[in-house]
């Protein structure tokens, strides 16, 4: 008697009962023929896909077994979703795929396709019926499984023979080992190396996704946009060497996806309600409405549940059908043949039209959400039993037996054999090493190769002054920025962006108002006219989508430079930076990268304008992201070299950089007195770029007076205020060192410690908030280094920035800085 909860034993018992009850076929069918008279799949191919489904199911059972004695660390499985094997079979092996966590059968099929493409064709290979629209990239037939037709002279131990103990197809065995290594956190797991259990492998074009609630969907849209752009460049003559293969160590990571590739992205039904999914659907439809093509196939695997919360009857279909610009397809994941046919139709439509579509695949969820999930707490026994009756493995078995391709006894023997082989692999991976040191864990997080970055800047300088000099002169209208006189911060960033566009053919600048208008503050002015609408373009008003476009574009081989119009606007989309961008190298061991430089206008002190959303001084959420580079240029002569460093680091190391630009300093010209022009600076000619290179994590130090009495450590607007305060102190005979951190992550710790020790008195001027602000990190660095001198903080109040003059009540002032230094000196 089955219990009310679908435990592994329940599921196994029910499957055995169902197969034992199948009647013997009246007539045997040749596996090389279509499995039914009206199907395109052959019996051999269905047997192959059944093997993938069996492998996925046995992996789920093995995961529960491993967990039962404390050796497995992940039990969310694919049971009930094995119909996604049909989706994988309908796609080309090179189509990039972002898969959710119930994609075991899909992953097996993709691994099998890759193994067949690279290995010799097995003996006894059965022919496969291929749809006409996929003739150029046929679905790999895979090794035939199951019994031969009567009269065939096939030995029992030959591939394709009836023996139940033949080994798993090489691709499936390899996929099983990958998944099991992930479950036991083996450091030999091929994509995350024991850091997480994900579906991903560069050679399979499967991009790892660590989130499960739709935050990977915006990236999929960005990938589709970039794939289509690169395809068009390929057909019009892309410059050789523009793209680099993933993991090559140079340039933007570019997987070798076929020219007609489409992006596939799977997710669960509950995820359609998530803001990230809404953003992705809206962006795909918005661009489709404008005529811009995005070849993405969304696959919604609908089991009707989000852990314990039911999707209302009909809600998912209504929601997906209502998405403008996205073609809707639907199929039952329990009907392998029909699911395959609809998936072929959907993939072909996206491939042919280069437009987005969604495949709504009905599934069931078996064994609950995960190992600790007691379904009886929220589901009736009858409902659980009804799902068991829709088990996709049983559905495929009924198809094979009904068609005369196999008997229930043969399929059950195959189930046991696959289970034995999966269990054997599980036992083997148990003894594999785990990550055992902090250095091992963080190794792929954010590679830093400063020598290569410096060389990249030097190479850019050589090109700009050598073979690229003519194009540079033309781009700047015959008057390069070094000849235009001193520039403001905004003008310097604009010139550096133009130089970056010239040196990086795959670089694109985009965001709200950056194109035609040239940015709210004019920072991108003229770039669209110089480089065209394909490389400098306006986006819809949605920060999640802007960052998603950047994530996908970087993964596809571009060097994206998205703009977030104001720092406050970043916070509703920060998971695209934290959970998606920063984790890619960490969870793929560098096999995939999403290089990106995110320009953000931020911080406070705008005169006569603002309130909180235009004067946000909160950066704690960014400093908390492991591996993220945060640059804050205060002066024009720092802005250009720091931007060049960020672009080079993104291209060389795949870095994710946030370039935080102080709005209040964009157009500042003077430092001490009106008209002195001391906050302007000349733009360096290319020949001086190497000598003026600013490495990541290096501060800048200003000496005022004797520079022996007090050290002020600051950044952004604090630099200008501190220099003014230092001038006042100099009149009182006090010598000051003003340290501009320039980089908030990684902090320039060595420079902080050196400059603090030089005076023994440190004043940290932090324009962010006292709680969670940058100053906390600076003080902690001093304490960790054993600093024993005096230290004091001047920081913003723990408050949002109000409108008008009230802002002065919560922000750091020059007077507060001066008084803070005097207090230190009085000790």
Q: What's phi and psi for 644, nearest 5 deg?
A: -60, -40
Q: Cβ distance 753 to 787 under 8 Å?
A: yes
Cα torsion 219, 225, 226, 230 to 10°: value is: 160
Tokens at residue 591, please? 């096999």
* Residue 318: partners with Cβ closer than 8 Å, 6 or more residues away: none
Q: How, if at all, do strands 629-631 and 656-662 pair?
A: parallel
Tokens at residue 16, please? 């055995």
Q: Cβ distance 219 to 580 under 8 Å?
A: yes
Integer CA distances (angstroms), 26 to 37, 137, 150, 167, in order: 16, 36, 12, 28
Coil, strand or helix: which one is 305? Answer: strand
Name the one residue in this structure whose structure tokens are 């018992």.
13
Q: Cβ distance 263 to 295 under 8 Å?
A: yes
- State the Cα–Cα distance between residues 296 and 317, nearest whole angstrom: 18
Q: Cβ distance 97 to 89 under 8 Å?
A: no
Tokens at residue 33, please? 């023929």
Q: Cβ distance 218 to 208 under 8 Å?
A: no
The 10 Å Cβ neighbour count of residue 489 is: 29
Half-sphere exposure of 488 toward its Cβ, with a 13 Å CA cutoff?
15
Integer CA distances (angstroms), 567 to 659, 775, 776, in order: 11, 19, 20
- Tell me which residue of 454, 500, 472, 466 sits closest to 639, measured CA to CA: 500
Integer CA distances (angstroms), 139 to 127, 449, 481, in order: 11, 41, 55
- State the Cα–Cα distance between residues 816 and 767, nearest whole angstrom: 11
* Residue 282: partners with Cβ closer than 8 Å, 6 or more residues away: 323, 540, 542, 545
Q: Cβ distance 610 to 803 under 8 Å?
A: yes
- Tell me which residue of 802, 783, 790, 782 sits closest to 763, measured CA to CA: 790
Cα torsion 392, 398, 404, 410 to 10°: value is: 80
Helical spans, DSSP H, in 430-536 = 438-442, 450-465, 469-475, 489-503, 527-531
443: which DSSP letter?
T
- Tell me which residue of 529, 543, 428 sits closest to 186, measured CA to CA: 428
- State the Cα–Cα distance between residues 453 and 656, nearest whole angstrom: 14
137 noted as active-site residue: no
Determine which helix (DSSP H) or strand (DSSP E) holds 644, and give its type and residue range: helix 636-653
Choose, from 504, 614, 667, 693, the residue flagged as catalytic: 614
- State the Cα–Cα distance between residues 702 and 714, nearest whole angstrom: 11
- Tell me which residue of 299, 275, 270 sits closest to 365, measured CA to CA: 270
Q: What's phi and psi for 424, nearest 5 deg?
A: -60, -45
Cα Dmax for the chain = 106
Tokens at residue 453, please? 């970055």
Q: What's phi and psi for 100, nearest 5 deg?
A: -80, 180
Please provide the distance, in angstroms rounded to a whole number, between the alpha carbons at the two ends of the chain.
81
613: which DSSP letter?
G
Question: Which residue numbers are catalytic?
Answer: 614
């Amino acid at each position: 008697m089955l219990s009310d909860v679908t435990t592994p034993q329940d599921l196994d018992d029910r499957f055995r009962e169902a197969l034992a009850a199948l009647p013997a076929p009246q007539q045997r069918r040749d596996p090389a023929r279509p499995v039914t008279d009206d199907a395109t799949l052959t019996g051999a191919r269905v047997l192959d896909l059944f093997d993938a489904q069996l492998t996925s199911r046995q992996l789920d059972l093995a995961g529960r077994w491993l967990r039962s004695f404390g050796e497995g660390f992940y039990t969310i499985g694919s049971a009930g979703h094995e119909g996604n094997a049909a989706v994988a079979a309908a796609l080309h092996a090179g189509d990039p795929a972002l898969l959710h966590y119930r994609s075991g059968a899909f992953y097996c099929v993709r691994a099998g396709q890759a193994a067949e493409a690279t290995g010799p064709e097995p003996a006894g290979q059965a022919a496969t019926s291929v749809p006409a629209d996929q003739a150029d990239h046929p679905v790999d037939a895979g090794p035939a499984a199951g019994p031969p037709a009567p009269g065939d002279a096939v030995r029992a131990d030959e591939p394709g023979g009836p023996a139940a103990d033949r080994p798993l197809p090489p691709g499936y065995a390899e996929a099983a080992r990958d998944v099991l290594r992930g479950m036991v956190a083996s450091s030999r797991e091929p994509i995350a190396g024991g850091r997480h259990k994900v579906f991903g492998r560069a050679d399979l074009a499967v991009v790892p996704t660590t989130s499960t609630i739709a935050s990977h969907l915006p990236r999929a849209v960005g990938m589709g946009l970039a794939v289509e752009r690169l395809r068009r460049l390929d057909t019009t003559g892309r410059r050789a060497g523009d793209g680099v293969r993933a993991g090559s160590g140079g340039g933007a990571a570019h997987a070798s996806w076929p020219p007609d590739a489409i992006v596939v992205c799977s997710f669960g039904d509950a995820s359609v309600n998530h803001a990230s999914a809404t953003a992705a659907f809206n962006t795909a439809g918005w661009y489709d409405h404008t005529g811009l093509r995005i070849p993405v196939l969304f696959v919604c695997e609908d089991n009707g549940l989000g852990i314990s919360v039911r999707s209302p009857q009909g809600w998912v279909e209504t929601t997906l059908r209502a998405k403008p610009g996205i073609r809707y397809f639907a199929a039952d994941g329990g009907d392998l043949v029909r699911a395959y046919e609809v998936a072929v139709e959907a993939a072909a439509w996206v491939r042919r039209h280069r437009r987005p579509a969604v495949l709504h695949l009905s599934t069931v969820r078996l064994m609950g959400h995960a190992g600790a999930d007691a379904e009886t707490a929220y589901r009736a026994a009858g409902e659980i039993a009804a799902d068991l009756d829709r088990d996709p493995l049983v559905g495929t078995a009924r198809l094979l037996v009904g068609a005369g391709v196999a008997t229930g006894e043969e399929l059950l023997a195959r189930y046991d054999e696959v289970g034995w082989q999966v269990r054997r692999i599980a036992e083997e991976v148990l003894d594999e090493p785990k990550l055992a040191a902090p250095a091992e864990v963080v190794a792929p997080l954010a590679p830093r190769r400063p020598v290569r970055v410096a060389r990249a800047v030097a190479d850019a300088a050589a090109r700009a002054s050598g073979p690229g000099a003519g194009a540079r002169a033309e781009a700047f209208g015959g008057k390069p920025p070094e000849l235009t006189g001193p520039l403001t911060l905004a003008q310097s960033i604009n010139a550096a962006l133009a130089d970056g566009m010239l040196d990086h053919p795959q670089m694109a600048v985009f965001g709200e108002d950056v194109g035609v208008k040239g940015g709210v503050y004019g920072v991108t002015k003229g770039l669209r006219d110089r480089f065209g609408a394909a490389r400098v373009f306006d986006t819809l008003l949605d920060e999640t989508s802007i960052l998603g476009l950047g994530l996908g574009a970087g993964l596809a081989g571009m060097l994206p430079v998205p703009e977030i119009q104001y720092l406050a606007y970043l916070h509703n989309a920060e998971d695209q930076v934290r959970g998606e961008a920063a984790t890619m190298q960490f969870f793929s061991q560098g096999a995939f990268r999403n290089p990106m430089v995110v320009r953000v206008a931020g911080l406070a002190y705008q005169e006569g304008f603002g309130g909180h959303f235009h004067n946000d001084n909160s950066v704690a959420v960014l400093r908390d992201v492991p591996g993220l580079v945060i640059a804050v240029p205060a002066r024009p002569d720092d802005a250009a070299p720091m931007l060049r460093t960020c672009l080079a680091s993104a291209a060389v190391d795949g870095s994710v950089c946030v370039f935080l630009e102080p709005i209040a300093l964009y157009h500042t010209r003077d430092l001490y007195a009106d008209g002195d022009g001391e906050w302007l600076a000349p733009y360096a000619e290319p020949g001086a770029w190497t000598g003026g290179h600013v490495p990541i994590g290096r501060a800048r130090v200003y000496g005022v007076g004797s520079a022996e009495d007090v050290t002020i450590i600051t950044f952004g607007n604090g630099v200008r205020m501190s220099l003014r305060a230092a001038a006042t102190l100099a009149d009182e005979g006090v010598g000051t060192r003003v340290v501009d951190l320039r980089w908030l992550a990684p902090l320039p710790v060595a420079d902080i410690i050196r400059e603090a020790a030089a005076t023994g008195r440190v004043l940290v001027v932090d324009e962010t908030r006292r709680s969670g602000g940058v100053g906390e990190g600076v003080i902690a660095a001093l304490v960790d280094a054993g600093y024993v001198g005096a230290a004091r903080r001047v920081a913003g109040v723990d408050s949002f920035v109000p409108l008008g003059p009230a802002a002065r009540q919560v922000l750091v002032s020059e007077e507060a800085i001066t008084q803070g230094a005097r207090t230190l000196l009085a000790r």
